Amino acid sequence: MDSRVQCSKISFAFGDRDLLKEVTLLLATGSHAALAGVNGSGKTTLMKIAAGLVKADCGEVTASKDCRVSYLPQTPGAYLSGRTLWEEAETAFARIQELLVSMDVLGEKLKTARESASLVEAYHKLQEAVEASGYYERDAAIGRVLDGLGFSAADYRKGAAEFSGGWQMRIALAKVLLENPDIMLLDEPTNYLDIEARTWLEAYLASFKGGYLLVSHDRYFLDTLVNEVYELFQGRCRRYAGNYSAYEKTRQTEMASLLKQYAEQEEEIAKSEELIRRFRYKASKAAMVQERIKKIEKIKENRIETPPSLKKISIRFPPPPHSGRTAVKLEGVGKSYGTKRVLENLNLLLDSGERLVVAGKNGAGKSTLLRIIAGADTDFSGSVSFGAGISGAYFSQDNAERLFLNGAASVLEFIENRAPDSLVPKLRDMLGAFLFPGDDVYKSVSVLSGGEKIRLALLCLLLKGANLLILDEPTNHLDLHSKDILLDALNAFSGTIVFVSHDRAFMESLSTKTLELSSESGARLFYGGYGYYLEHARVQEREIPKTPEKNEDRRVSKERQAQLRRLKKNEQQLLEELEALETEYKRLEQLLSQSGVYRDAVKARETKAALDKTKIAIDTKSGEWEQTARLLEEG
């Protein structure tokens, strides 16, 4: 039997602002929906109304009989109950425990009842509900969900209140999943999840038999899971079929038309206001002036509004200072926390202009490595050196908080004091892109929330004019629009970037090289971006069979010979491609040295861009060739 929740003509006002205007939304078994809209459009409010936590000003919320709805807020309350993690997870089954109590009561009645048919039926229904809930397999379910979300077995007996805010968010998510409701309303479920936990959650939701509504700033996560999008825009709600990318494509076309109408409307208002100013005090034009005033009033009653996300903001940061070919060199770097060794004899050479994403599970040492490169952690073995002219800038959430100690300036003053003069006229747009719209720029930095401080700190760092950016989770607390603006700016940045992120789309779009850290296998460098890494991370395991047992025939099989032939053919092809790329690189270098090119700024810029692109291609092919050659040696 399908379960469903329907919001019908929901309206809700916040002060004098109509946040929701006759919104209708339907969620049922099998609904895989996203809720989209700019910050402040009412997404969280609508979710709370659908969950029965907030009452709408008008309209109604209806649900099918026995439909259970679970809601995950963005910021669940802290756990102060004194329960352990495992005990807190078990509270997800509180409803079933109530059913068991009811069964006990009915069981006692059945002992003495003369007419017991109705009691037997009621008891049987309760028994079926308990068995269908998975209550008797709850230990396995709790372990599976907690493990999937990144908790270790050692965490199970820790007090829930002992975990940090990010991990408490995971506890709240675990409880919603374990409740196994008919409909889930998940508000930013991927906040504070690493890439492994996100991947696990994707698989869980993909197999979930009920319905769900997601609010998320992770485009890859949404594209993987949803087949319909509800968008809140100017208080209204509209449904779009398809995944999130399909929705964005449709909206792009619609918004182009809306922007055209907006421009025409604004032009009409401006013309009318100019006529009113010119003829306001001429008696012969009084009728015309009154007509124009009424026309403006009528237009403004139905004035088209455009959200901040429609503004085509393009941020270009100061050009980084020139540097030598080498950006960073690590030799034998090791790091321990007590008896735990997180980095062991790590060697790394990073050329200027490369964009290295550091991947790996939680605890593998990703943030530790970034702190070492940034100089924020000096207690390590080995050495870190930088090329000539390298100037670094480091971003992390902890670092961001320290930036605002004893701050009394406004947001705008704070950023103006740190921006080059050439960018001051663009600062309002930049602040808007980083979610400081309108009068928010006049807020004192001392009253900013943690997320607001992080966004402002990130913008400050990007304005410094460094040629080495070290970024630890730069996309946290940014919406999709802001992520796109940041990504465009970083892709246009000609310096070197070393970063950690849990946003898969961001990692794939920005990275040109991938370093995998693993407590089991150490460090592995892949000469390609994050997408390349995902495709080739297990190439050795796929290509080369395991060593035969002693009692097996040691004769090389035909299949093995075929694999080796393919590897040799691939090696030859890679060598030919490398030779062609190196020839092209030399040609571009010579071209750049010609006076007719380097004196022409446009040609010089285009040639330099082609040279950099060719260099990246050479590094990628070299990495592929090295891996192939190593496989041949081992084969």
CA 124 → CA 3, 115, 182, 346, distances in Å? 21, 16, 21, 63
Reduced to 3 states (helix: H, G, I; strand: E, B; else coil), residue 1 is coil
Give the residue among 422, 54, 74 at the shortest CA–CA distance from 215.
Answer: 74
Check residue 297 and give its pLDDT.
Answer: 82
Supply the mean pLDDT for the chain.
84
What is the DSSP-derived secondary structure letter of residue 355?
Answer: E
And the tokens for 344? 């062991």
pTM of the model: 0.69
CA dist 500 and 517 (Å) reads: 11
Q: What is the pLDDT of residue 145?
A: 95
Residue 308: the pLDDT is 52
E strands, 461-552, where?
468-472, 496-500, 513-518, 522-526
**According to the model, what pLDDT value does residue 382 have?**
95
Proportion of the chain above pLDDT 70, given as a percent: 89
Nearest alpha carbon to residue 455 among 409, 403, 406: 403
Task: Give me the phi and psi of 320, to 5 degrees please.
Answer: -70, 150
* C-alpha distance from residue 350 to each of 283, 344, 386, 615, 619 (Å): 76, 18, 10, 12, 11
Cα–Cα distance for residue pair 166/397, rounded to 1 Å: 12
Residue that the structure tokens 């709240």 belong to = 172
8 A C-beta contact, residue 567 and residue 575: no
Burial 393-428 (b: 16+ CB within 10 A, else e): bbbbbebbeebbeebeebbbebbeeebeeebeeebe
Distance, in Å, from the CA atom of 634 to the CA atom of 631, rounded to the nearest integer, reads 5
Residue-level pLDDT at 407: 66
Averages of pLDDT over runs of 10 residues in the chain (635 residues) are 90 88 94 89 93 94 92 79 88 84 79 74 80 82 93 91 86 94 94 88 93 93 94 91 91 80 82 80 78 81 62 68 91 89 92 93 88 93 94 85 73 88 84 82 82 82 87 85 84 92 91 89 88 74 44 48 71 79 82 74 79 79 72 62
pLDDT at 531: 87
What pLDDT sits at residue 485?
82
Beta carbons within 8 Å of 573's beta carbon, 6+ residues apart: none
What confidence score (pLDDT) does residue 551 get? 41
Burial readout 479-511 (b: 16 or more C-beta within 10 A, e: otherwise): bbbbbbbbbebbeebebbbbbbbbbbbbbbbbb
Q: Which tokens in the block code for residue 336?
A: 């321990």
60 to 5, 16, 22, 51, 309: CA distances (angstroms): 11, 21, 10, 12, 30
Query: What would the two tokens of residue 390 be?
Result: 């390298």
